[in-house]
Structure 1
Amino acid sequence: MNRSKIANLTILLYVGVMVTSTICLPLQANGAYEEAYEMEQTNTLFAIPLYEKALSQKPTGKLQKAVVSRLFFLYKKHAKLLDALFLGSRYPSHIPSKDRSWIWTQLSEIYKPITVSELSSTYVLAAKTNLENSNDLKEQLKQLNLPKLYEFASILLLKRKQYKVILALFEENPNMFHSPLFIGISEFKLGTEQGKEFLKKVLADSDKERSEQEKSDILYLMGVHYRQSNEHELSARYFRMSGSFYGKTRADLEASKSLVLQGKTKEMCSTFKFSISQFDEIETILHYHCSPTGAQATKLILPSIRILAEREGNEFLQILFPKEGI
């Protein structure tokens, strides 16, 4: 598996494996659960947002166990390792220990030579750390002194929206961050001006020798900056430039979003070619939208698209699929 996919804005780890858990239906399921289970029969990837919606409604008892079991199964099937990790920690009694152990096996493969013990202890700290109680995590990372472990911690903290903690880690030990990506994303999440100032500092350091990935990440952050400034044409341009160095799929997806926000949906479809992905809902949606035969597939997954469109970063879906249009 390509470790770079872990650093992408969606923050997903792509390793697909099937599991064998089953449940009995119905379990006095509510509407959201029934809708999710029905979608699972049609498209397992797009059942995930519906199960997440069902879980957000705080089911209890057998219904809770059913929702968690199906969601964990689908996270594993579609290689959403971090989602599975957080879910397993939140509901350990509903997830077999062998399945939770499987996640750590996959993560240790990705982060070799870091051990399962080092990863899991870092996860335990990062899963509860905020700016006020970050000393234990800082000490753990400083003691082990591994750039990959800082990356793992940063991904976990991004998922928890603990942006200030990431900045604190960087300030204390900047040499552990081989790319400006996590710092830049955190700065932009905290404010457009903060992100802009960070980019100025990065771009001013023109004498530094940079890897292809680092060049790509800087251009990606430029795309983020211009999108936040509503300069979507420039945003799309910088995202596309980032893909010429590294992470082409990430670059194409983000450039497509900017083109849609700019009102250039036809140009997006003629410029980029997406496929049906087992791991990425957005790539699959764009494939269906741009395909001459994709209208029926889109209608089948529309309830999931509506949920995804409400999430930060997916506002472009509201333009592609206006509620009054379908």
Structure 2
Amino acid sequence: MGFFFRIFLTIGIYFFITRGVSAVSYEEAYAMEKDSPVFAIPLYEEVVRTAKQNDVRKTASTRLYFLYEKFRKYVPALQYQIRAGTTKTKKGEWSSIVQSVSQGLGVSPYSLIGVLSSCSRSTPPLVEPQEQSVDSETGKPVPFVPFEPYRSLLKPENAPLVRLCYSIKMKLKDYESWENIFQTIVQKNSISKETALPLWVGYSLQSGRGVPYRRIYLSGTSKVLTNESKSDIAFLYAKFLRHKGRWEASTRYFLMSGTYGNPRRAKFEAAKNLLLMDRKQEACDYPQEIYNGSEEPEALFRKICQTKGTDWGAQYSHALRILSKDSPDPLYSYILQGGGKEARDYFVKEMGTFLSDTDTDGEEDLEPEEILTLLLPNEDRNKLPFWDARDREANLVLPDRTKYICKVLRRPFFSNPSIQPQYCTEIFPGTLEQMLNSVEEEEEVSFAFADPAYLPISAKLFWKEVEIIPENPVDPPVQPTLPVKSNQVGPTVALGPWNLEYFVYRKILNRTYAEIRLGKEYFVVAVKPSIVAWQK
């Protein structure tokens, strides 16, 4: 896990946001620190926010700072130092935390402290003077110097601080300020598009402003996305689906995001989904390195996998309710509600209902034209997002013994499906569209192929070669070649054979997805059933 991402996760909640939870005593927080120190942090924070006695607040703050350092919660630790005036030592040197964070992000300590301090407050729009000021003594023009955080964030070398400021603003729910900042840095071209697009999407998911799915879809069409930014977009798509309670679909996109980058993050979030889908064994079968950190969700996951039931979670309930109000997590819901449907419903409720229910392509004019022009000019956009291959023809390669296409209930993600004959339909060579015509279910359903004995069969998918149309119509078409192995990652980089695991069909939207693997690479890709064919 990268240095910045660790900071992003440990942003903390030292901003004293009002929460609808009962009062916490210092004694309760201290007792929790002895038993499980990391879960004492939200309790101490609540004491600092609500205690009436100054000495109690001061003592709790001291304990908080110690725990921030112990668990490497850098941002709240720095905030504490800023409040206490201890960002520098008595010798005038930067504190060890300031030096460590600034070096890890590759920025100056002055910029780090300036952004951290200013982004913790309301940020008005940046208004540049219409006329340049002139020095009264020299008569020379005086260049306009923006105030913080603009002064630092408008410097391209401080790009990591943009994401840091974004994290703080989202924690504070200071959406107006973030809009002011984001619009300015995009207009000034101070941030790359591949960095800006995930922030554009994440802000919509967090705030409910804009149309989240439309932003996801449009961002996915960008030609400038790196593997890292594709991972972020797919990850945010997975979060969008999880917020809507679409757990299986969310898990697929989490796993795909890990193919593009940050696999540990992807696998951990997928494991959380599996847990709430009542698949504890599948979730806990993941290698322990995905949850061996010191953060609250990781500590909970270890405990869940090492013990039976959730009765032990009662001692953490106060801390978890505080954490869940500030930043809902499937694991908090799992412990508070004891798993099952109650935990799933609780999580969706905690996420709120402001997200749009739709995940259709929608209309572009749902987003302001100005921001679309800046982030996604027409020349930088593909026709479809990187997970969509509805313009690609494909061949299905199935063994001669293939006889059925079968609906799979509770499809496993890491083992062969269990086929039940009553959910199978006989199929014949033809297009996938013809095979799916008999499907009656309106909701999202996974399908696999089976032989006459209702045993799952190994299916393959080959993409057909695409003819390259020359820019000059006089020139002959270019003969396609097999893709050259490179650092490119994607579902159509290689023609195949891809291992086909499932087709996922959403009849209500007439949308079909193929789950494919090639080695360790996993993708879920939209396909057009009429041009995916099985021919003997």
Shared fold per TM-score greater than 0.5: yes
Deviation at 1:156, TM superposition (A): 2.8
Shift of the 297–105 alpha-carbon distance from structure 1 to 2, 3 Å rule, reads: farther
Quote the residue 1:221 is aligned against: 236
Deviation at 1:315, TM superposition (A): 5.0
Residue 136 of structure 1 aligns to a residue in which SS?
coil
Shift of the 240–2 alpha-carbon distance from structure 1 to 2, 3 Å rule, reads: same
Deviation at 1:69, TM superposition (A): 0.3
Quote the residue 1:170 is aligned against: 182
Q: Distance in 2 between the 1:293 and 1:142 partners?
A: 48
Q: Distance in 1 between the 2:308 and 2:89 partners?
A: 41
Quote the residue 1:254 is aligned against: 269
Residue 173 of structure 1 aligns to a residue in which SS?
helix
Quote the residue 2:155 is aligned against: 144
Deviation at 1:220, TM superposition (A): 0.5
**Residue 69 in structure 1 maps to residue 62 in structure 2:** yes
Shift of the 46–186 alpha-carbon distance from structure 1 to 2, 3 Å rule, reads: same
Shift of the 7–236 alpha-carbon distance from structure 1 to 2, 3 Å rule, reads: farther
Deviation at 1:79, TM superposition (A): 0.4
Q: What root-mean-square deviation, in Å, do the aligned CA atoms of Structure 1 and Structure 2 show?
A: 3.4
Read off the aligned partner of 1:183 and give its amino acid letter: W
Cα-to-partner distance string for 1:282-325 (whole Å, 9 max, x where unaligned): 01101110114797975664553444344432254233342799
Shift of the 55–301 alpha-carbon distance from structure 1 to 2, 3 Å rule, reads: same
In the TM superposition, 1:197-236 aligns within 5 A as 197-205=214-222, 207-208=223-224, 210-236=225-251
**Conservation of the 8 A alpha-carbon contact between 1:240 and 1:251:** yes
**Conservation of the 8 A alpha-carbon contact between 1:309 and 1:317:** yes
Quote the residue 1:5 is aligned against: 5
**Residue 154 in structure 1 maps to residue 169 in structure 2:** no
Stretch deviating more after TM superposition (248-257 or 169-178): 169-178
Residue 121 of structure 2 aligns to a residue in which SS?
coil
Q: Distance in 2 between the 1:272 and 1:192 partners?
A: 37
Read off the aligned partner of 2:164 and give its amino acid letter: F
Q: Distance in 2 between the 1:85 and 1:7 partners?
A: 11
Over 6 Å off, 4+ runs = 293-297
Quote the residue 1:245 is aligned against: 260
Read off the aligned partner of 1:38 and give its amino acid letter: A
Number of aligned positions between the proteins: 303
**Conservation of the 8 A alpha-carbon contact between 2:126 and 2:184:** no
Note the residue ranges of structure 1 that are not aligned, 5 or more in a row: 14-29
Shift of the 97–185 alpha-carbon distance from structure 1 to 2, 3 Å rule, reads: same
**Residue 190 in structure 1 maps to residue 207 in structure 2:** yes
In the TM superposition, 1:87-126 aligns within 5 A as 87-90=80-83, 92=84, 98=89, 101-112=95-106, 114-126=107-119
Deviation at 1:219, TM superposition (A): 0.8
Quote the residue 2:329 is aligned against: 314
**Conservation of the 8 A alpha-carbon contact between 2:24 and 2:46:** no
Stretch deviating more after TM superposition (296-305 or 62-71): 296-305
Shift of the 107–168 alpha-carbon distance from structure 1 to 2, 3 Å rule, reads: same
Deviation at 1:142, TM superposition (A): 5.7
**Conservation of the 8 A alpha-carbon contact between 2:119 and 2:149:** no
Read off the aligned partner of 2:44 and give its amino acid letter: Y
Instruction: Give me the TM-score of the superposition, normalised by structure 2.
Output: 0.50
Deviation at 1:186, TM superposition (A): 0.7
Stretch deviating more after TM superposition (245-254 or 291-300): 291-300
Q: Distance in 1 between the 2:217 and 2:310 partners?
A: 44
**Conservation of the 8 A alpha-carbon contact between 1:288 and 1:294:** no
Residue 46 of structure 2 aligns to a residue in which SS?
helix
Q: Distance in 1 between the 2:259 and 2:59 partners?
A: 44
Residue 260 of structure 2 aligns to a residue in which SS?
coil
**Conservation of the 8 A alpha-carbon contact between 2:32 and 2:40:** yes
Cα-to-partner distance string for 1:89-138 (whole Å, 9 max, x where unaligned): 44x27x796498333122211122x2111222222322213355797346
Cα-to-partner distance string for 1:205-224 (whole Å, 9 max, x where unaligned): 2x33x333112101101112
Deviation at 1:275, TM superposition (A): 6.9
Q: Distance in 2 between the 1:170 and 1:254 partners?
A: 27
Larger relative strand fraction: 2
Q: Distance in 1 between the 2:278 and 2:254 partners?
A: 17
Residue 245 of structure 2 aligns to a residue in which SS?
coil
Shift of the 275–321 alpha-carbon distance from structure 1 to 2, 3 Å rule, reads: farther
Shift of the 156–306 alpha-carbon distance from structure 1 to 2, 3 Å rule, reads: closer
Note the residue ranges of structure 2 that are not aligned, 5 or more in a row: 13-22, 128-145, 343-536
User: Which structure has the larger Rg?
Assistant: 2
**Conservation of the 8 A alpha-carbon contact between 1:166 and 1:182:** no
Q: Distance in 2 between the 1:288 and 1:46 partners?
A: 13
Shift of the 142–310 alpha-carbon distance from structure 1 to 2, 3 Å rule, reads: closer
In the TM superposition, 1:51-70 aligns within 5 A as 51-70=44-63
